[in-house]
Amino acid sequence: MKIRNNIAVSETGFVFDPNSGDSFTLNETGKQILNMLSEGKTGSEIKHFFIENFEVEVTTFENNFSEFLMMLQGLNLVEE
Amino acid sequence: MTTKKRYERPIITKINAGVTDKFGMRPKMPIISKIEGVAITDIIAKYGSPAFVISEKTIRKTYNEAKRAFSTRYPNVQFAWSYKTNYLDAVCQIFHSEGAWAEVVSGFEYDKAIANGIPGNKILFNGPDKSKDDLIKAVENGAFIHLDHFDELYELLSIADTSKKRPKVAIRVNMDTGVYPLWDRFGFNYENGEAWNALNRIMLSEKMDLVGLHTHIGTYMMTPDPYAVAASKLAELAVRVDKKYNHKIKYIDMGGGFASKNTLKGAYLPGKDTCPSFDQYAEAITNALINSELDPNKMPTLFLETGRALIDDAGYLVGTVLANKRLSNGRRSMIVDVGVNMLFTSFWYEHEIYPVKEVSANAEDTTIYGPLCMNIDVIRDVIKFPLLQKDDNYVIKRIGAYNMTQWMQFITLRPNIVLIDINGNTHIIREKETNESLTSHERVPAYLK
């Protein structure tokens, strides 16, 4: 799953979608995930990064990550 | 070893352009990690989740605030604890130890007050349902019987014929105090002369002692003015009785109905900013009595039966998040282990709910559901709530009134109720239910076994 090419993500977690004109904000973990997706990282790589660097259990992260991706899909910010 | 960063569930929030809403920017939600110095996580670890928690210190503090408000403005004031608001014995005993009498509305509550060591002559017996046996008991014990209707009056007259003791009675008076809805289902109406008629019948019967006048004008009264109207009307009745029969009414009972600091559903501003203080209620009531035609040398005792405003702040519900999920419109929903079966007041209030541990400033519009498999089980329709995870704890404030009496055993069992005493020690004051608590009352006919 990749972030669509024309989606702009700022350093502070501000997201702009030029197609719809919608803007979004991200929290720290959301911003991290979006940046890693922009860099072309896979879901597995993102998961390992979080488990190693954040205080989170595997199942909790998997659950949250999957829900977050669904939201990105719902907002039309990602493509397969 | 490197320290791991604090984790928070990832979220993305759409920015809606436009004018800010009436509240402007929402500050970060505060947390409540302790109740009276006791960590909520410790309470849950020891007593389970969910659990009701009651602060003895808050009960005593609130009671004394109310007492001060009235007793500094009027010579004779007596509070009577409204049992139906919270009739846990430990709670009743705290109020009684502060000097409160008992105000009961059924035979069950009457017996509870007696079992709590309250003598009959310190019980106010209200309500439309007093059986013949209840009335006989109340007459024998010298309780103050507040008559609700003529059938009860005649029943009591017939009891008085055979009793060695004279019943001590008051009448409950309903009236127009300028508020909607007008509560006219209890007692005798003032405006149409029914109350005056009842007073005449009592006085002319010469079988009972007319000692008081009672009213209870409504619930959650958000302005003190109607109490002034009610107090004036009761004072006027007392003066008329004195003029006609040369008989002094001993007490005027203004009932309850004072609002707590909870926010009613649909209210524009929070209850803690809009509900009157005890001083405002006291000012309205005592001014009306003092400025009436009552004999200043024999002013009747002022009785108050306020329940909600005395106990709501002392109660907390602590619990645990069961799950988070997305609704079809993308809104977050959070399922918690407290439902409307034990938080009955969530039908009326926008209850304040807080995280127990530190959270970030990020929050999402959230619907908070209880654990029941019922669509009505909603604790908050919409609240901007921090990103709590499954197994995180939360606390709901101001739940001391009515929840521990109007709760339902439905789908889940009722949990422990814990009292934090004034020294910060915790005590179970009602044990959590077990299947046995319920099945012990059931009987299965032999042919079904």
Q: Between B67 and B3, whose confidence is greater?
A: B67
Which residue of B lies nearest to A62 if distances are taken between CA atoms?
Answer: B9
Query: Are B353 and B252 in the same domain?
Result: no
The answer to whether the beta carbons of residues B261 and B312 sit under 8 Å apart is yes
What is the pLDDT averaged over residues B245-259?
96
A74: chain B residues, CB-CB within 8 Å:
330
Q: Decide if pLDDT at A48 tops 80.
A: yes
Residues of chain A found within 8 Å of residue B5, distances taken between Cβ atoms = 53-55
Q: Are B40 and B393 in contact (CB under 8 A)?
A: yes
Model confidence band, residue B1 (pLDDT cutoffs 50, 70, 90): low
Q: What CATH number should be reported for the domain holding residue B179?
A: 3.20.20.10
Nearest by Cα to B304 from B252, B229, B237, B234: B252
Do residues B296 and B214 both lie within one domain? yes
Across the interface, of A33, A53, A75, the residue whose CB is closest to B10 is A33
Mean pLDDT value across residues A16-28? 91
What angle do helix axes A58-74 and A28-38 make, rounded to 10 degrees? 70
Same domain, B93 and B173: yes
Separation of alpha carbons B406 and B51, rounded Å: 16
User: Which residue in chain A has the smallest CA separation from B326?
Assistant: A67
Q: Is residue B103 part of a domain?
A: yes
- Interchain CB contact of A72 with B (< 8 Å): yes
- Percentage of residues of chain B with pLDDT beyond 70: 97
Give the β-pairing of B332-336 and B315-326. Answer: antiparallel
Closest CA to B79 of B70, B88, B89: B70
Q: Is B343 left (phi over 0), alpha (psi -120 to 50) or beta?
A: beta
B321 with B410, same domain? yes
Question: Is residue B306 within 8 Å of residue B256, measured between CB atoms?
Answer: yes
Number of domains in chain A: 1
Q: Is residue B2 included in any domain, yes or no?
A: no
Domain extent, residue A25, equals: 2-79
Residue with tokens 């130890």: B97
Q: What is the b/e burial string over B36-46, where b = at least 16 CB atoms within 10 angstroms of the residue's CB?
A: bebebeebbee
Q: What is the pLDDT of residues B340-379, one digit of tens each?
A: 999 999 999 999 999 999 888 888 899 999 999 999 999 9
Beta bridge mates, B363: B386
Q: What are the beta bridge partners of residue B209?
A: B168
Average pLDDT over residues A14-38: 91
pLDDT at residue B25 greater than cutoff 80: no
As for how many domains chain B has, the answer is 2
Residues in chain B with CB shorter than 8 Å from the CB of A65 are: 10
Q: Is residue B117, in this structure, part of any structural domain at all?
A: yes
Q: Which among A10, A12, A20, A27 is the top mutation candidate for probing chain B, defined by the most B β-carbons within 10 Å of its own β-carbon?
A: A27
CA atoms within 13 A on the CB side of B379: 30
Chain B residues interacting with chain A (CB cutoff of 8 angstroms): 4-15, 324, 326, 330, 360, 362, 387, 389-390
Q: State which residues form the domain around B397.
A: 34-54+314-433
B300 and B334, same domain (yes or no)? no
Shared-domain flag, residues B189 and B304: yes
For A66, nearest residue in chain B (alpha carbons): B10
Average pLDDT over residues B98-122: 98
pLDDT, tens digit, 9 for 90 and up, residues B382-438: 999 999 999 999 999 999 999 999 999 999 999 999 999 999 999 999 999 999 999
Do residues B318 and B175 share a domain?
no
Q: Which of B261, B278, B312 is the last residue of a domain?
A: B312
Q: Are residues B39 and B68 in the same domain?
A: no
Answer yes or no: is pLDDT of B139 > 70. Answer: yes
Q: Are residues B62 and B137 in the same domain?
A: yes
A55/B11 touch (CB, cutoff 8 Å), yes or no: no
Task: Tell whether the torsion through CA atoms of B399, B400, B406 and B409 is positive or negative.
Answer: positive
Instruction: Tokens for B418, please give them.
Output: 């814990």
Residue whose token pair is 């000097």:
B99
Q: Which two tokens stand for residue B363?
A: 């929050």
DSSP letters for A11-80: TTSEEEETTTTEEEEE-HHHHHHHHHHHTT--HHHHHHHHHHHBS--HHHHHHHHHHHHHHHHHTT-EE-
Q: Domain end: B292, B312, B332, which one?
A: B312
Q: Which residues pair with B381 in a beta bridge?
A: none
Res B19: pLDDT: 62
CB contact under 8 A, B7 and A72: no
**A25, A29, A74 member nearest B9 (Cβ):** A29
- At B82, give phi and psi (nearest 5°): -75, 100
Question: Where is the domain boundary, B312, B330, B345?
Answer: B312
Asked, for residue B292, whether it belongs to a domain, the answer is yes
- Cross-chain residue pair B330–A71, CB shorter than 8 Å: yes
Does B440 map to a domain? no
Statement: residue B23 has pLDDT above 70 = no
What average pLDDT does range B31-56 have in this prediction? 98
Q: Which amino acid, one-letter code, is at B31?
A: I
Check whether B219 has a pLDDT greater than 90. Answer: no
pTM comes to 0.92
Beta bridge partners of residue B326, listed in sequence order: B332
Q: How far is A17 from chain B (nearest CA, A)?
A: 11
ipTM of the complex: 0.94
On chain B, the residues whose CB falls within 8 A of the CB of A25 are 12-13, 15
Compute the distance between CA of residue B135 and CA of residue B358 in angstroms, rounded to an integer. Answer: 55
For residue B264, the SS3 value is strand
pLDDT band of residue A63 (cuts 50, 70, 90) is very high
**Same-domain pairing of B120 and B230:** yes
- CA of B17 vs chain A CAs: smallest distance (Å): 9
Alpha carbon distance B373, A15 (integer Å): 38
HSE, CB side, 13 Å, CA atoms: give it for residue B256: 24
